Amino acid sequence: MTPKATPEQIDAYLALFANNPYNAMVAIKEHVQRRSAVTSESISAPSHSETAIITAQSLTKTYKLGRQRIQALHDVSFTIYDGEFVALTGASGSGKSTLLQLIGGLDKPTSGEIIVNDTNLNHLPDAKLSTFRNKTIGFIFQFFYLQPFLRLSKNIEVPSMFAHTKRSIRRLHVKELIERVGLAQQAPQLPKQLSGGQIQRAAIARALMNNPKILLADEPTGNLDSTNSRAIIELFKQIRAEFGMTIVLVTHNPEIAALADREIQLKDGTLI
Ligand SMILES: Nc1ncnc2c1ncn2[C@@H]1O[C@H](COP(=O)(O)OP(=O)(O)OP(=O)(O)O)[C@@H](O)[C@H]1O
Ligand SMILES: [Mg+2]
């Protein structure tokens, strides 16, 4: 049985969405409806819309390293639809992290276009790019680390501290997300007291803090055993079903990739 949102949570969501350009009430209503409609079938069923949310057109990325030029991506084009869960795979050095950085607006392509949530990222000045990232993207980085001296709850709160959200509302949201990823008991602990799987759950909670539309995860199961890896993928699927977000997940592991709706494969910087 999925619990309904409490009036307190609804207030918190209202405040969180207050600065967003779309209607707060609609967003809350949709989330509450989705939550109550989530069943075990809807979690595993691929359920995305026909609306493109990420479009890459002839993306090329060349890094300059002294005199050397490294072509990390070459003529990469694809479309990812709103609500899709896509696995991005390929050997080490094939360009996966580079592509994720372009999708997330952390870096710009050398040529080609990247359109995310109806915004052409090439045309955004840096200040607007950072607003775009805060509002639209949740990152789980390949080398995710928690601040060793901050308790888990504080670590998760950090990204929202820059988003002008009231402290009491932030705390409520942190509490909800920590419970959501199954770490309520670990909230007061320091990172060194957490397992690898718990750290990945913390990374997911932190990425969800600003209610992103798109979750980008770089090898979130990289150093986990197969049981913990599957549990993390299940958590992603539940979150997708509840929040209706789009997920792009980088993995080396074909078994993990097979759990996504679709696989996009890179080889030496090109799609195969
Ligand atoms: N900042 C950078 N400067 C120069 N070269 C880079 C930079 N980042 C990545 N590269 C190069 O671009 C290519 C693609 O790297 P990328 O990190 O995207 O690969 P990857 O598929 O994520 O690999 P892995 O699975 O090992 O994480 C590699 O040859 C890499 O050495
Ligand atoms: Mg990488």
Interval 93-149: pLDDT, tens: 999 999 999 999 999 999 999 999 999 999 899 889 988 988 899 999 877 678 899
Position 12 pLDDT exceeds 50: no
Distance 48 CA to ligand 1 centre (A): 30
When pLDDT is cut at 50, 70 and 90, the band that residue 17 belongs to is: very low
Distance 49 CA to ligand 2 centre (A): 28
Position 35 pLDDT exceeds 70: no
The set of protein residues with a Cβ atom below 6 angstroms from ligand 1 is 63, 65, 70, 72, 90, 92-98, 142
26 and 103 belong to one structural domain: no
When pLDDT is cut at 50, 70 and 90, the band that residue 51 belongs to is: very high
8 and 102 belong to one structural domain: no
Distance 136 CA to ligand 1 centre (A): 24
Q: Which two tokens stand for residue 10?
A: 């609804």
Q: Is residue 73 part of a domain?
A: no
Q: Radius of gyration (Cα) for the chain, nearest Å?
A: 18
Position 22 pLDDT exceeds 60: no
Distance 97 CA to ligand 2 centre (A): 4
Task: Name which residue sits closest to atom 11 of ligand 1, judged by CA.
Answer: 72
What pLDDT sits at residue 15? 44
When pLDDT is cut at 50, 70 and 90, the band that residue 47 belongs to is: low
Which H or E run contains 135? helix 126-136
7 and 102 belong to one structural domain: no
Choose among 185, 202, 183: nearest CA to 141: 202
191-224 per-position pLDDT tens digit: 999 988 899 889 989 988 888 999 999 988 877 8
pTM as predicted: 0.83
> Can you tell me the distance from the alpha carbon of 22 to that of 90, in angstroms, rounded to the nearest whole number?
37
Mutate to test the pocket of ligand 1, among 68, 96, 101 (most ligand atoms within 8 A of CB): 96
> How is residue 188 annotated by DSSP?
T
103 and 25 belong to one structural domain: no
SS3 call for 155:
helix
Average pLDDT taken over every residue of the chain: 84
Pick the ligand that lies closest to the CA of residue 94: 1
Atom of ligand 1 nearest to the CA of 252: 25
What pLDDT sits at residue 134? 85
2 and 99 belong to one structural domain: no
What pLDDT sits at residue 13? 47
The pLDDT > 90 percentage for the chain reads: 50
Atom of ligand 1 nearest to the CA of 61: 12
Q: Which of 14-18, 60-64, 88-92 is least confident?
A: 14-18
Task: Name which residue sits closest to atom 5 of ligand 1, judged by CA.
Answer: 63
What pLDDT sits at residue 16? 46
93 and 195 belong to one structural domain: yes
Q: 231 or 98, which is more confident?
A: 98
For tokens 């592509």, the residue is: 99
What pLDDT sits at residue 166? 80
> Can you tell me the distance from the alpha carbon of 207 to that of 68, in angstroms, rounded to the nearest whole number?
35
Task: Name which residue sits closest to atom 27 of ligand 1, judged by CA.
Answer: 92
Number of domains in the chain: 2
Task: Name which residue sits closest to atom 18 of ligand 1, judged by CA.
Answer: 95
Q: Is residue 140 part of a domain?
A: yes
Distance 99 CA to ligand 2 centre (A): 9
223 and 140 belong to one structural domain: yes
Atom of ligand 1 nearest to the CA of 90: 21
Position 41 pLDDT exceeds 80: no
96 and 5 belong to one structural domain: no
Residue 270 has a CB neighbour count (10 Å cut-off) of 15
Distance 125 CA to ligand 1 centre (A): 25
Mean pLDDT of 48-59: 92
> How would you list the strands of the sheet with 111-116, edge to edge?
68-81, 52-65, 111-116, 119-120
> How is residue 248 annotated by DSSP?
E
Domain span at 180: 82-107+125-271
16 and 100 belong to one structural domain: no
160 and 250 belong to one structural domain: yes
Distance 204 CA to ligand 1 centre (A): 23
For tokens 């008991």, the residue is: 185
Task: Name which residue sits closest to atom 6 of ligand 1, judged by CA.
Answer: 63
Position 186 pLDDT exceeds 70: yes
